[in-house]
């Protein structure tokens, strides 16, 4: 046995799950290969550090699986699991492509379930702000630690009986980077294993790293197969009525039950990298954000990196893989969903890493026209979920009409024959591709750089059909933080919401805050006071403004480079290119490069600031802050609102 105590001086038996289960005592060498008669079918229990071993043992005791499989992330393991899933009906082969698979979920398990997602802390005030009496918090659901234990007790005992428990060691960020963090997810879903292998660095290298680093986030996931209940859909077990996703930031622990879908079950993504991540970041003085990261090289050869926060399903992946319509510009992708940013001790700049290793992108709307680089990424080594399939062994979704070979027939995401006249969509609006990042032809050479990439600009944005101009720039850091705080966007299919209501989504983090939003704002503001800091400039963008006829005023996609070009010129200090308005700086007449655009752009409408709209917007933001943040709203943010209110009177 290796001597782990040499490395792991913080090792102590955890108080979390072991309070609901009796700790298993290691007694004899035979036990190392056998947990209470549960056979280890893959991997070696005695290769685990004591803390990890205890995590596995206590969950074996709780969930009572028949087998334990410690994942090594190898090709052979993946092939075996894929075969298993095909035999169980969870995956179907897509012979048109190389190593691509289709999963069709239970129709009740198709998106993140925000109403059943909780942060669990001692005091409610750690999680949610002091909301106005009676107002429900829309910025996070709180649960006590006692209720969390109760919820576990009600769901987990014996929940893996007859099934295999997989132990997934994973790293968020390149293994060994000072910005990365380790995690271990326990799950009974081979689909989760296959997806985590794409979305994170997973397997033996991480197990090795875990042997010398005791610090890991513990994630427990079970599909939920209520005992004695027969499943309507055995190829996609889940327990939608009792689904729950809980986070305990004090213990760095995530527990998820009842859903096999994306953000509910791939626990490295939203649960770890954003919710638990933002808590760790606050403690350690950095930022964990719902942001894409991209690099842009201009025609003069100057390269800069930017990050952008848009809510789920608002085009982060498209922007991250942008193919420039302006000659001479090159965009390269670092990440499409999450950025971890730390102040670099030498440069004083925020340096960002993408903690993920793959893309879990929305399929519908992705096409050669909207995102050619995604189309070059997703047709090998990909797990598709809830897209439609074609009679030639391929996939189809809304937006792929032009790529469909003649004569092929379509089967929709329910597995039923489909044609357009039926009035339904072939693919679920939140259907996804899960693809390795390194297949993207424009991955940035520094995308796995251990020290991250230096950030020069932060973009906030959302879907705003009315009132909000294409782009504007914050006056300073505090104003920029206010822009993030007051973000709003039309609802998308990424969660359970229906309809097209405009929702507040501060920093695009509304479903992902790990702690009190007032404290989060304070944390953002505090970066201004760091010694030698070189803060990025902050902008707000809106590709989605429409005219009175409901037509988009801006072509978007590849033409968004024109906005990035202006942003970069502002970063370089080009003062001629902007004019001041009551809401921020906008491009001066002629400053936005529209050369070569096919259509006529109505710049007048695109940048118009209607007084009644902005008066209402200010009122609505004020109402929201009062209701949702209350006393926790930092004074500088309240002052920004007052200043905006005064400025819009002059519109």
List contacts with ligand SAT (CB under 6 A).
112, 262-263, 269-270, 312, 360, 494
Where is 59: in which H helix or E strand? helix 50-63
Q: Kindly state the smallest distance separating residue 289's Cβ from Mn ion, in Å.
A: 11
Q: Kindly state the smallest distance separating residue 360's Cβ from ligand SAT, in Å.
A: 5
- Which option in ligand SAT, Mn ion, none does residue 263 bind, with CB closer than 5 to 8 A by kind? ligand SAT
Q: List 630's β-bridge partners, or say none.
A: 130
d(CA 503, CA 492): 10
Of 306 and 592, nearer to Mn ion (C-beta) is 306
d(CA 269, CA 288): 11
Q: Kindly state the smallest distance separating residue 511's Cβ from Mn ion, in Å.
A: 9
Of 164 and 312, nearer to Mn ion (C-beta) is 312
Q: Kindly state the smallest distance separating residue 601's Cβ from ligand SAT, in Å.
A: 30
For 68, counting Cβ atoms within 10 Å of its Cβ (0-12 exposed, 13-18 middle, 19+ buried), the class is: buried
Is residue 114 at the binding interface for Mn ion, with CB under 5 A as the rule? no
Q: Kindly state the smallest distance separating residue 614's Cβ from ligand SAT, in Å.
A: 29
Of 90 and 259, nearer to ligand SAT (C-beta) is 259
Residue found under tokens 């005030």: 125
- Which option in Mn ion, ligand SAT, none does residue 472 bind, with CB closer than 5 to 8 A by kind? none
Contact 538, 454 (CB under 8 A): no
Q: Kindly state the smallest distance separating residue 354's Cβ from ligand SAT, in Å.
A: 14
Is residue 289 at the binding interface for Mn ion, with CB under 5 A as the rule? no
- Which option in ligand SAT, Mn ion, none does residue 138 bind, with CB closer than 5 to 8 A by kind? none
Of 35 and 309, nearer to Mn ion (C-beta) is 309
Q: Kindly state the smallest distance separating residue 214's Cβ from ligand SAT, in Å.
A: 28
Residue found under tokens 């108080």: 15
d(CA 3, CA 192): 32
Q: Kindly state the smallest distance separating residue 508's Cβ from Mn ion, in Å.
A: 8
d(CA 394, CA 489): 33
d(CA 99, CA 383): 9
- Which option in ligand SAT, Mn ion, none does residue 262 bind, with CB closer than 5 to 8 A by kind? ligand SAT
Give the residue from 178, 172, 170 showing the smallest Cα distance to 205: 170
DSSP string computed for 358-384 = EEEEE-TT--TTT-HHHHTTSSBS-EE
Q: Among 309-317, 427-435, 541-549, 627-635, which window interacts with Mn ion (CB under 5 A)?
A: 309-317
Footprint of Mn ion on 605-624 (CB under 5 A):
none
- Which option in ligand SAT, Mn ion, none does residue 494 bind, with CB closer than 5 to 8 A by kind? ligand SAT
- Which option in Mn ion, ligand SAT, none does residue 181 bind, with CB closer than 5 to 8 A by kind? none
- CA dihedral over 604, 605, 606, 608, signed as positive or negative: positive
Residues 6+ apart with CB under 8 A from 6: none
Is residue 398 at the binding interface for Mn ion, with CB under 5 A as the rule? no
Q: Among 3-11, 241-249, 304-312, 413-421, which window interacts with Mn ion (CB under 5 A)?
A: 304-312
Of 270 and 464, nearer to Mn ion (C-beta) is 270
Is residue 337 at the binding interface for Mn ion, with CB under 5 A as the rule? yes
Q: Provide the strand spans (E) within 469-603.
A: 471-473, 488-490, 502-504, 537-541, 578-581, 584-587
Q: Among 85-93, 132-140, 312-320, 541-549, which window interacts with Mn ion (CB under 5 A)?
A: 312-320
Of 201 and 428, nearer to ligand SAT (C-beta) is 428
Of 91 and 192, nearer to Mn ion (C-beta) is 192
- Which option in ligand SAT, Mn ion, none does residue 112 bind, with CB closer than 5 to 8 A by kind? ligand SAT
DSSP string computed for 566-594 = HHHHHHTT-GGGEEEETTEEEEPTTTS--
- Which option in Mn ion, ligand SAT, none does residue 311 bind, with CB closer than 5 to 8 A by kind? none
SS3 511: coil
Residue found under tokens 């209501």: 501
Q: Among 63-71, 181-189, 245-253, 333-341, which window interacts with Mn ion (CB under 5 A)?
A: 333-341
Q: Kindly state the smallest distance separating residue 413's Cβ from Mn ion, in Å.
A: 20
Is residue 57 at the binding interface for Mn ion, with CB under 5 A as the rule? no
d(CA 98, CA 382): 9
Number of residues that bind Mn ion (CB under 5 A): 2
Is residue 318 at the binding interface for Mn ion, with CB under 5 A as the rule? no
Of 90 and 312, nearer to ligand SAT (C-beta) is 312
The answer to whether 63 is a known catalytic residue is no
Q: List C-alpha distances in Å: 299 to 296, 445, 570, 593.
A: 10, 18, 16, 13
Q: Which of 8, 71, 238, 314 is catalytic?
A: 314
DSSP string computed for 115-174 = GGEEEE-SSHHHHS-BPPTTPPPSS--EE-HHHHHHHHHHH-TTTTTTSEEEEEEEEESS
For residue 67, what are its two tokens?
Answer: 């087998």
Binding mask 147-186 for Mn ion (x = CB under 5 A): ----------------------------------------
Longest pairwise C-alpha distance within the chain? 79
Contact 172, 273 (CB under 8 A): yes
C-beta nearest to ligand SAT: residue: 263
The strands making up 388-390's β-sheet, listed across from edge to edge, are: 395-396, 388-390, 410-411, 417-418
From the DSSP assignment, how many helices (H) and strands (E) are in the chain?
16, 33
Is residue 444 at the binding interface for Mn ion, with CB under 5 A as the rule? no
Of 461 and 584, nearer to ligand SAT (C-beta) is 461
Contact 235, 90 (CB under 8 A): yes
Give the residue from 253, 197, 190, 201 showing the smallest Cα distance to 51: 253
Among 117, 252, 312, 385, binds Mn ion (CB under 5 A): 312
User: Phi, psi (5° rounding) for residue 245?
Assistant: -130, 120
- Which option in ligand SAT, Mn ion, none does residue 542 bind, with CB closer than 5 to 8 A by kind? none
Q: Among 62-70, 95-103, 334-342, 393-401, which window interacts with Mn ion (CB under 5 A)?
A: 334-342
Q: Kindly state the smallest distance separating residue 502's Cβ from ligand SAT, in Å.
A: 18
Of 191 and 418, nearer to ligand SAT (C-beta) is 191
Active site residue ranges: 314
**Chain contacts with Mn ion (rule: CB under 5 A):** 312, 337
């Amino acid at each position: 046995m290796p001597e782990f105590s040499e490395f792991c001086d913080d090792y102590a038996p955890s108080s979390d799950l072991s309070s609901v289960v009796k700790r298993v005592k290691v007694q004899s060498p035979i036990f190392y290969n056998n947990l209470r008669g549960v056979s280890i079918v893959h991997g070696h229990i005695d290769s685990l550090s004591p803390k990890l071993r205890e995590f596995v043992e206590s969950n074996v005791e709780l969930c009572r699986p028949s087998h334990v499989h410690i994942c090594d992330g190898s090709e052979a393991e993946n092939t075996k699991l894929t075969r298993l899933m095909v035999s169980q009906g969870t995956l179907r082969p897509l012979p048109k492509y190389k190593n691509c698979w289709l999963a069709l979920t239970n129709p009740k398990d198709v998106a993140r379930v925000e109403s059943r997602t909780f942060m669990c802390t001692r005091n409610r005030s750690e999680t949610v702000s002091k909301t106005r009496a009676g107002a429900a918090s829309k910025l996070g659901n709180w649960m006590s630690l006692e209720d969390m234990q109760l919820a576990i007790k009600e769901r987990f005992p014996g929940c893996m009986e007859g099934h295999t428990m997989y132990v997934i060691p994973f790293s968020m960020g390149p293994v060994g980077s000072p910005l990365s963090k380790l995690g271990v997810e326990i799950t009974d879903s081979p689909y989760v294993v296959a997806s985590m292998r794409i979305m994170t660095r997973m397997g033996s290298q991480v197990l090795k790293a875990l042997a010398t680093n005791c610090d890991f986030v513990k994630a427990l996931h079970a599909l939920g197969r209520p005992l004695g209940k027969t499943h309507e859909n055995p190829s996609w077990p889940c327990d939608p009525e009792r689904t729950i996703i809980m986070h305990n930031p004090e213990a760095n622990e995530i527990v998820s039950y009842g859903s096999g879908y994306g953000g509910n079950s791939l626990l490295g993504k939203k649960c770890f990298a954003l919710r638990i991540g933002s808590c760790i970041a606050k403690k350690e003085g950095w930022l964990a954000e719902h942001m894409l990261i991209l690099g842009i090289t201009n025609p003069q050869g100057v390269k800069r990196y930017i990050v952008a926060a848009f809510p789920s399903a608002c085009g982060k992946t498209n922007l991250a893989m942008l193919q420039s319509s302006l000659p001479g510009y090159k965009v390269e992708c670092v990440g499409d969903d999450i950025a971890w940013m730390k102040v670099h001790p030498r440069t004083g700049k925020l340096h960002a890493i993408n903690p993920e290793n793959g893309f879990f992108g929305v399929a519908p709307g992705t096409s050669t026209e909207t995102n050619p680089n995604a189309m070059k990424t997703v047709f090998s080594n990909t797990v598709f979920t809830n897209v439609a399939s074609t009679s030639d062994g391929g996939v189809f979704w809304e937006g792929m009409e032009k790529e469909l070979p003649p004569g092929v027939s379509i089967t929709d995401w329910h597995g039923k024959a489909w044609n357009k006249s039926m009035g339904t969509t072939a693919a679920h609006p939140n259907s996804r591709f899960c693809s390795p990042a390194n297949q993207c032809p424009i991955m940035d050479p520094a995308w796995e750089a251990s020290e991250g990439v230096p950030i020069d600009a932060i973009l906030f944005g959302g879907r705003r059909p009315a009132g909000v101009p294409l782009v504007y720039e914050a006056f300073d850091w505090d104003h920029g933080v206010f822009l993030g705080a007051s973000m709003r966007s039309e609802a998308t299919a990424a969660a359970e919401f229906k309809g097209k209501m405009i929702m507040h989504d501060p920093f695009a983090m509304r479903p992902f805050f790990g702690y009190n939003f007032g404290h989060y704002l304070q944390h953002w503001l505090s970066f201004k006071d760091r010694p030698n800091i070189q803060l990025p400039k902050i902008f707000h963008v809106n590709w989605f403004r429409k005219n009175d006829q409901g037509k988009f005023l801006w072509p978007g996609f590849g033409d968004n480079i024109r906005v990035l070009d202006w942003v970069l010129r502002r970063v370089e200090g080009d003062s001629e290119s902007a004019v001041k308005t009551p809401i921020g700086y906008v491009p001066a007449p002629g400053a936005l490069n529209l050369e070569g655009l096919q259509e006529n752009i109505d710049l007048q409408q695109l940048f118009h600031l209607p007084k009644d709209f902005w008066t209402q917007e200010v009122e609505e933001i004020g109402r929201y802050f009062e209701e949702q943040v209350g006393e926790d709203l930092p004074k500088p943010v309240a002052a920004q609102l007052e200043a905006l209110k005064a400025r819009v009177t002059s519109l």
